[in-house]
Amino acid sequence: MQATVSAKRRIGQLEVSLTGLGCNNFGWRIDEAASQRVVDAALDAGINFFDTADIYDKGRSEEFLGRALGKRRREVAIATKFGMKFDDTHFGARPEYVRQSCEDSLRRLGTDYIDLYQIHQPDPDTPLADTLGALEQLKQAGKVREIGCSNFSAAQIREAAGKFVSVQNHYSLFHREPEAEVLPECERQRLAFLPYFPLANGLLTGKYRQGQPLPKGSRGDAGWGPKMFTGENLAKVERLIEFASARGHSLLQLAFSWLAARSAVASVIAGATTPEQVRANASAPQWQLAAQELAEIDRLMA
């Protein structure tokens, strides 16, 4: 029997699966047929939250996702983003560009509304109030259901004055910067937090082990090695594997469940290149970590 996502959490008015599918691999890492298989596996596993962006392979991720969902589009919540450099003339968060980007994403996705439209990064050249005004107009027109941000600081989130329902930032056992200010701000404002890179570029999948060569074709083998796959980090991975296995769980389950233990976390966004990865991710956040287990994890990571 296939394990599926059972838990649902909220992003504003949206009810989403605790595991979300990050579609950043579509196009540049896997072709359209493989992307279709990943989306089908996600739907079969109960995943209903799909996160993409206009810049992912210059729009092809959105195109692949829209075609893969097809007639099942209304069963899911689609999140996409704008604002990072698409090309030399398409970037930023000016009101006219926000409107144009939304129309472009709607066309690529083959839909008439976006469930969660996110500013991909702050635009220092555009007042946030101007961007928010354009996004509110898109909401009123029914083209966008909810508004979120990505890569924003706590101060920038406060500046938005309650217009956002979500914050998508880098967060994992190996990257805990949001704990200082952003997560507390999300909890204070009751905003949904969406962690990206939850598996630390594959470090928390369990396929990278101390004293073993990096798997061929993996992210580590492709050049991430010196940055993430250090002796110190791999030693921490071994401690986490031992901790999880002693309790009948995998490292992958630990990585997801640790994030899910945060009340602000609404959906853990993880990419996948195969149906097998999707199924593993879908069933991962089912370990209810106790307070003493969370404290022990902190000690192991120190």
3-state secondary structure of 158: helix
Whether pTM > 0.75 for this model: the answer is: yes
Nearest to 151 by CA among 189, 118, 199, 192: 118
Q: What is the pLDDT of residue 223?
A: 57
Nearest residue to 145 (alpha-carbon basis) of 267, 16, 6, 36: 16
- Please answer whether residues 281 and 289 qualify as being in contact, where contact means their C-beta atoms are separated by less than 8 angstroms: no
| Residue numbers annotated as active site | 56
Query: What is residue 205's predicted lDDT score, i.e. its pLDDT?
Result: 93
> b/e string for 59-95 if b means 16 or more Cβ within 10 A?
bbbbbbbbebbeeebeebbbbbbbbbebeeebbbbbb
Cβ-contact 254, 287 below 8 angstroms? yes
Grouping H, G, I as helix, E, B as strand and the rest as coil, residue 73 is: helix
CB atoms inside a 10 Å sphere around CB 289: 18
* Per-residue pLDDT at 3: 61
The total of other beta-carbon atoms located within 10 Å of residue 263's CB is 12
What domains, with CATH codes, occur in the chain? 8-209+253-288 (3.20.20.100)
State the pLDDT at residue 215.
72
- Reported as half-sphere exposure (CB side, CA atoms, 13 A), residue 148 has a value of 32
Residue 98: partners with Cβ closer than 8 Å, 6 or more residues away: 82, 131, 134, 135, 138
Evaluate whether 96 touches 68 at the Cβ level (below 8 Å).
no
What is the pLDDT, as a whole number, of residue 1?
Answer: 44
Signed CA dihedral, 224, 227, 228, 231: sign only: positive
Q: What is the pLDDT along the chain (302 residues), one digit of tens a residue?
A: 456 777 899 999 999 999 999 999 999 999 999 999 999 999 999 999 999 999 999 999 999 999 999 999 999 999 999 999 999 889 999 999 999 999 999 999 999 999 999 999 999 999 999 999 999 999 999 999 999 999 999 999 999 999 999 999 999 999 999 999 999 999 999 999 999 999 998 999 988 888 887 777 665 555 555 578 889 999 999 999 999 999 999 999 999 999 999 999 999 999 999 999 999 999 999 999 999 999 999 999 99
> How many angstroms separate the Cα of 57 from the Cα of each of 60, 71, 86, 156?
5, 24, 9, 28
How far is CA 175 from its chain centroid? 14
Q: Give the pairing type, strands 8-11 and 14-17.
A: antiparallel
CA–CA dist 235, 5 (Å, integer): 31
Question: What are the phi and psi torsion angles at 77 (to 5°)?
Answer: -110, 125
